[in-house]
């Protein structure tokens, strides 16, 4: 503040006006920052509630899917263990290849 007293009155009043403008703009920035935080938090809560509602709606469907998988998985494992790949005879493979390249689509 001693530096301000050393300045001439016209410069001093201008300097104090600039300080006032900076203080007001800082306060406005702070208010904007606080409002942004409140808005973002409220949006996050709303999205969380929406996702929770969707999850509650999907849970019966997911339970049915899991029950179906529990029923089908043992059979699928048995079939996968018992299935043996069957080789395609060479004549059938070559005729299919030739037909693919010689016949129009």
**All structural domains of the chain with their residue ranges:** 2-82
pTM exceeds 0.75: no
pLDDT band at 34 (very low <50, low <70, confident <90, very high): very high
pLDDT at 1 over 60: no
DSSP characters over 25-84: HHHHHHHHHHHHHHHHHHHHHHHHHHHHHHHHHHHHHHHHHHHHHHHHHHHHHHHHHH--
């Amino acid at each position: 503040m001693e530096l301000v007293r050393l300045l001439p009155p016209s410069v001093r009043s201008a300097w104090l006006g600039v300080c006032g403008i900076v203080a007001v703009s800082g306060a406005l920035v702070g208010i904007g920052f606080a409002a942004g935080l409140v808005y973002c938090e409220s949006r996050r809560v709303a999205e969380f509630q929406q996702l929770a509602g969707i999850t509650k709606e999907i849970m019966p469907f997911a339970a049915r899917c899991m029950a179906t998988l529990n029923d089908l998985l043992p059979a699928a494992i048995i079939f996968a263990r018992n299935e043996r790949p069957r080789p395609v005879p060479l004549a059938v493979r070559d005729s299919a290849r030739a037909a693919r390249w010689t016949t129009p689509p």
